Amino acid sequence: MATPTQHHKRRRLSPLLHDLADELLFVILDRVAADDPRALKSFALASRACHAAEARHRRLLRAFRADLLPAALARYSAVSRLDLSLCPRVTDAALAALSTAPSVSAVDLSRSRGFGAAGLAALVAACPNLTDLDLSNGLDFTDAGAAEVAKARRLQRLSLSRCKQLTDMGLGCIAVGCPDLRELSLKWCIGVTHMGLDLLALKCKKLKILDLSYTMEEKIAVQIVKNCFPAIMKLQNLEVLILVGCNGIDDDALTSLDQECSKSLQVLDMSNSYNVTHVGVLSVVNAMPNLLELNLSYCCPVTPSMSSSFKMIHKLQTLKLDGCQFMADGLKSIGKSCVSLRELSLSKCSGVTDTDLSFAVSRLKNLLKLDITCCRKITDVSLAAITSSCPSLISLRMESCSLVSSVGLQLIGKRCSHLEELDLTDNDLDDEGLKALSGCRKLSSLKIGICLRISDEGLSHISKSCSDLREIDLYRCGGISDEGVTHIAQGCPMLESINLSYCTKLTDHSLRSLSKCIKLNTLEIRGCPMVSSAGLSEIATGCRLLSKLDIKKCFEINDLGMIFLSQFSHSLRQINLSYCSVSDIGLISLSSICGLQNMTIVHLAGVTPNGLIAALMVCGLRKVKLHEAFKSMVPLHMVKVVEARGCVFQWINKPYQVALQPCDLWKQQSQDLLVQ
Amino acid sequence: MEGGLRRSSETSCKALPSMSSNSSMINDPDQQGGRFNSMDQSCFARPGQSFPAFPPLFGVQSSSLYLPDEKIGNQFEPNSSLNNPTVDWDPQTMLSNLSFLEQKIKQVKDIVQSMSSRESQVVGGCSEVQAKQQLVTADLTCIIIQLISTAGSLLPSMKNPLLSSNPAIRHLSNTLGSPMGFGFSCNQQPNTNDEVTIPEISKTPDYEELMNSLNTTTQGESDELMKCQNPCGGEGSEPIPMEDHDVKESDDGGEGENLPPGSYVVLQLDKEEILAPHTHFCLICGKGFKRDANLRMHMRGHGDEYKTPAALAKPSKDSSSEPAPVTRYSCPYVGCKRNKEHKKFQPLKTILCVKNHYKRSHCDKSYTCSRCNTKKFSVIADLKTHEKHCGRDKWLCSCGTTFSRKDKLFGHVALFQGHTPALPMDDVKVTRASEQPQDSEAMNMVGSIGYNFPGSSSDDIPNLDMKMADDTRYFSSLSFDPCFGGLDDFTRPGFDISENPFSFMPSGSCSFGPQNGDS
């Protein structure tokens, strides 16, 4: 190769590019990528110089195959984040082949299996500047692996969620080896006891975020709380402490906190720790005066005394009491004592009445987010109070507040014009309500599933005013047709996610109009029998970022649709094909999509065991749901081969049911179930 | 012993006219004192004797103990027990025993009488007098042992508390050798040498009488008796904390407290007594027990009268009117820091401390751990404690130190900068070897199935390079034939199957290496 000529050629091809400083070029590329994620591909393929520039610019590497990592790292020398979440199987050998990559600071192995301590040792050796490591779901992660991880001395963030084999020994190694640790997740690390945690609190003084969810069984929790809480509370920098599902924490354990006091702690999550009562909460409140967020969901009944104890934490901004039972006046005293509250979550609480909620909301002037999902007793009175006293609400979730009338719902649109997130699923919403909502111009997420009275006209109002809409849920809105979907698709170009399941009137026209939303990544058209492969092909060619697709019970969709998907939807990660008219050919063509992770293939009449196995052999799935009937038909050794490559089989045994219920009948039935 | 017994009986029975009338022999008080000192040790040397685990509360104890002695005047008849119709023991044996005792007592009486007669003539015949005194001592020892065994055979019909009081009687006599006891007795009866024999004589019927009275008295009387005897039984057995037998720390019990030297009473047990396996004996069958509670349980088998709640109750100690003086113990081993002669004497707190200390410090380590065969112990509890953890020194620090307990390791790691918990080597091997056995099997299977695509080795850089960019087929899709382009591509992901058997080799060999090395 004559380098001068090549050099000359390159110059000639992109003189402008060559003169640009990398910094400027990168700024430009960042902006281009923000606008259209796929634009960088086009850029890289424009010329060698562009290709090289794009390689230098790339910071995130999301690999499909772990064994190609050395080559990829050689090309993208500036990559700082290595995401292996699309590789179900990462072998020790693949990690051992890594050459030194000083630029890599973050590695995600949370969805990979097959590597052991040797691989981790190689990884840590190859990435001397590793600060961020995600090893979640490492069911075969052992103490030996932890000892290797401990050699990454600069590690700041480490997730070991569900590493159930980890014991104190491994945690001790990490605690000693990684003194810079800021964030650590030990969720579901049931092998860890107070000794390891004690050492951790002693050695890792910089810890900011600690997740100990589900680690405290009833028996050992007392020990943990007694022995480590003092040490943990002394951590100067601890800001977030997550203790979800720690059933062992009870009042006795918490009252022992009385002498301790953590000035730095800002977030405490004790949801699902159902052995705690108001006595323990009082101790917590005393010990952590600077809390900003407190989560006591599914803990204990809320009494007035408990609510008034929140007065001690005067900075409290977020209070989550999901699933709690409210005693008389419990909610009222929240209104009295937590004046600074910005976010209040009361979903699935029992005992929330109109008077209490109205009173509380009238005191909480700063409220920005309110969740009253399934508070079935509240009526228009509450809604009037909410909308009048909290006009600056940005998020309101009120799924299944069935006593609120359509007139009440109109108040939301009229008064809360700052709303960005609104969940009115299963309410008595009608077109008038939607028309009122058109005042909420910042709306980005709108969930109006199971609102049977809305029609195309209402959607046209939304589409005209809510151009920022990213997510819309129209699940079982039987009243809407292609026209309404077209309105939305035209009026909301930023749309990323749409759920049109069981909107049985929809045809290919809807999909054709949706294909103009180029950012669409989630499409659910389950139970739309009139949709066909033609519509799906439009989506495949138009929405190139599509990653989640649910076409269950779209009986008209056949192999052709799959072939289009395989050619254009390279971002596809998850697909549900149940009841479709797809055969072996469609399945095999689908399997050529590299990143495909999850596939649900139940009741697929055209698929044979051989075709199925061929497809599974080819694609690197992580999880596949199959009908149980296949279990006997697929050779066992083939199943083992597929499993060895990191795929998990889940066998479904559901009856074959083709008939689609009308939406109103379905709603009636589900309400009857609820009453029972 | 003789001195001790005399002292006890004299302090307790000082009101008895028979005793004072019998004390015809008068000896030099100095001599008496010297003899006591020499007796000091020997009085502990009786085999099968319980050791004196009680505070020396002589006045209280003895008065209660010997309360029945008041009847000695009207019931002083050794054989009277034979007439008791309720007895269930063998009268013949008892008779022979008693006659033996009578003979013995007569012997001693003769000796002492000869001593007293000679004393009036030759005051300075010290050596001869001493020899005779020793003879008297030996005889009295014999008498007492015989007396006790005889009395023991009577006991089935006696109330249980007496059993616990009986050792106390002996303790009493023992501890009288201590300076305090001596001074006390001197005040009481400064110039009585005759009690060398007299108390013994009086003591024999004393016991007999006790048994008899117990056998013959009505229930009310015996209850009254028990009221008196219970406390002394409690005094006798209370300070033996047998329960915390394997509490090693109790050995150093005296160390933590800083008692001023004069504020406590120092007792010193004899070596044999320390090493005696049992401290409580059944007076009926002679069986020995380590704990008085066990003895009480045992006594139930000897008759219904031992089954009453009162008999089974733990003797309470709080009925003594005087507060117990603080008692500390000295190790009999001269030169030991725990010996009272030592300059920096540190007393031992309890009898158990004495036992454990003596065994640990001055005895052979006769118990060997059967697991490691290296560690030896002289206290069996220590061996048991060790065996619990022996061979489990699996908690390893990076500095090479091993620990038998995880919390100790973590305490060590917490203390030293840079030390880290280390995984045992075999553990690492095991985990590495077990990481992917089934995977490797499956992967080999993949290789054999025939998905081996020869052109797809991992150094095929251009091809791989293209695949890494997550939209490599962007080009291909432009020139795309909708029906077959996808099918063209679909074999490609198969490549990684073919590569896996190769790529697995290094890790496989490294994981199985250690296993082979082991085998």
Q: Please state, in angstroms and rounded to a whole number, the distance separating the CA atoms of residues A198 and A175.
A: 10
- pLDDT for residue A540 is more than 60: yes
Residue B251 backbone dihedrals phi, psi, to 5 degrees: -60, -35
pLDDT bracket for residue A561 (50, 70, 90): very high
Cβ distance A116 to B511 less than 8 Å, yes or no, reads yes
| Percent of chain A surpassing pLDDT 90 | 58
Mean pLDDT of A3-30: 67
- A352-356, A538-542, B284-288: least confidently modelled range: B284-288
Taking residue B458's Cβ as centre, other Cβ atoms within 10 Å add up to: 19
Which pLDDT score is estimated for A220? 61
- Local structure of B238: helix, strand or coil: coil
Q: Please state, in angstroms and rounded to a whole number, the distance separating the CA atoms of residues B277 and A211.
A: 57
Q: Please state, in angstroms and rounded to a whole number, the distance separating the CA atoms of residues A469 and A444.
A: 4
Cβ distance A198 to B410 less than 8 Å, yes or no, reads yes
pLDDT bracket for residue B93 (50, 70, 90): confident
Going by C-alpha positions, the residue among A28, A35, A54 that lies closest to residue A43 is A54
Contact A230, A253 (CB under 8 A): no
Cβ distance A117 to B432 less than 8 Å, yes or no, reads yes
Contacts of A132 (CB under 8 A, 6+ apart): A81, A105, A106, A107, A155, A156, A157, A158
- What count of CB pairs under 8 Å joins A to B? 169
In eight-state DSSP terms, residue B315 is P
- pLDDT for residue B342 is more than 70: yes
- pLDDT for residue B413 is more than 60: yes
- pLDDT for residue A165 is more than 60: yes
Which pLDDT score is estimated for B343? 85
Mean pLDDT of A505-521: 94
Cβ distance B471 to A41 less than 8 Å, yes or no, reads yes
Mean pLDDT of A402-425: 92
Cβ distance B414 to A67 less than 8 Å, yes or no, reads no
Taking residue B450's Cβ as centre, other Cβ atoms within 10 Å add up to: 8
Going by C-alpha positions, the residue among B404, B396, B267 that lies closest to residue B325 is B267
Cα-trace Rg, chain A? 28
Instruction: Say yes or no: A408 contacts chain B, CB-CB below 8 A.
Output: no
Interface residue of A40, A51, A65 to substitute, partner B, most B CBs within 10 Å: A65
Q: Is the dihedral of CA B232, B236, B237, B238 positive or negative?
A: positive
Q: Is the dihedral of CA A99, A100, A103, A104 positive or negative?
A: positive
pLDDT bracket for residue B519 (50, 70, 90): very low
pLDDT (tens digit per residue) in A201-240: 999 999 999 999 988 776 665 666 667 777 888 888 999 9
- Reported as type and span, the H/E element at residue A609 is helix A609-618
Chain A, 639 to 668: residues with Cβ < 8 Å from chain B are 640-641, 643-645
Structure tokens that stand for A50 in this block: 């562009």
Contacts of B38 (CB under 8 A, 6+ apart): none
Cβ distance B423 to A75 less than 8 Å, yes or no, reads no
pLDDT (tens digit per residue) in B28-78: 444 444 344 434 443 343 444 444 444 443 433 333 334 344 444 444 444
Judging contacts by C-beta atoms under 8 Å, the chain A residues touching residue B418 are 176
Interface residue of B420, B428, B459, B475 to substitute, partner A, most A CBs within 10 Å: B420
Which pLDDT score is estimated for A262? 82
pLDDT (tens digit per residue) in A607-627: 998 899 889 888 888 899 999
Taking residue A194's Cβ as centre, other Cβ atoms within 10 Å add up to: 23
Q: How far is CA B437 from CA A136, A359, B337, B511, in A?
A: 22, 64, 63, 10
In eight-state DSSP terms, residue B261 is G
Instruction: Report ipTM for this prediction.
Output: 0.82
- pLDDT for residue B318 is more than 50: yes
Judging contacts by C-beta atoms under 8 Å, the chain B residues touching residue A45 are 474-475
- In the numeric block, the tokens 């890289």 are attached to A44
pLDDT (tens digit per residue) in A454-505: 999 999 999 999 999 999 999 999 899 999 999 999 999 999 999 999 999 9
Distance between the two ends of chain A, CA-based, in angstroms?
A: 80
Cβ distance B493 to A116 less than 8 Å, yes or no, reads no
- In the numeric block, the tokens 């007592």 are attached to B105
Q: Counting beta carbons within 10 angstroms of the beta carbon of residue A6, is it exposed (0 to 12), middle (13 to 18) or buried (19 or more)? A: exposed
- A239-243, A297-301, B212-216, B358-362: least confidently modelled range: B212-216
- pLDDT for residue A14 is more than 70: no
pLDDT (tens digit per residue) in B120-179: 555 545 566 777 788 888 788 878 877 777 776 665 544 444 444 444 444 444 444 444
> Residue A197's closest chain B neighbor by CA?
B410
Which pLDDT score is estimated for B147? 78
Q: Tabulate helix, strand, coil % of chain B (nearest 5).
A: 60, 5, 35
Please give the model's pTM, rounded to 2 decimal places.
Answer: 0.64
Cα dihedral A101, A102, A105, A111, rounded to 10, equals 10
Contacts of B304 (CB under 8 A, 6+ apart): none
Cβ distance A114 to B436 less than 8 Å, yes or no, reads yes
- Reported as type and span, the H/E element at residue A356 is helix A354-363
Q: Please state, in angstroms and rounded to a whole number, the distance separating the CA atoms of residues B378 and B363.
A: 7
Distance between the two ends of chain B, CA-based, in angstroms?
A: 70
Q: Please state, in angstroms and rounded to a whole number, the distance separating the CA atoms of residues B310 and B336.
A: 43
Amino acid at A626: L
CB-nearest partner of A172 from B413, B442, B482: B413
Q: Please state, in angstroms and rounded to a whole number, the distance separating the CA atoms of residues A573 and B491.
A: 19
Cβ distance B442 to A640 less than 8 Å, yes or no, reads yes
- pLDDT for residue B325 is more than 80: no
Structure tokens that stand for B338 in this block: 């725990």
Mean pLDDT computed over every residue of chain A: 89
Assign 3-class secondary structure to A410-457.
Answer: HHHHHHCCCCCEEECCCCCCEHHHHHHHCCCCCCCEEECCCCCECCHH
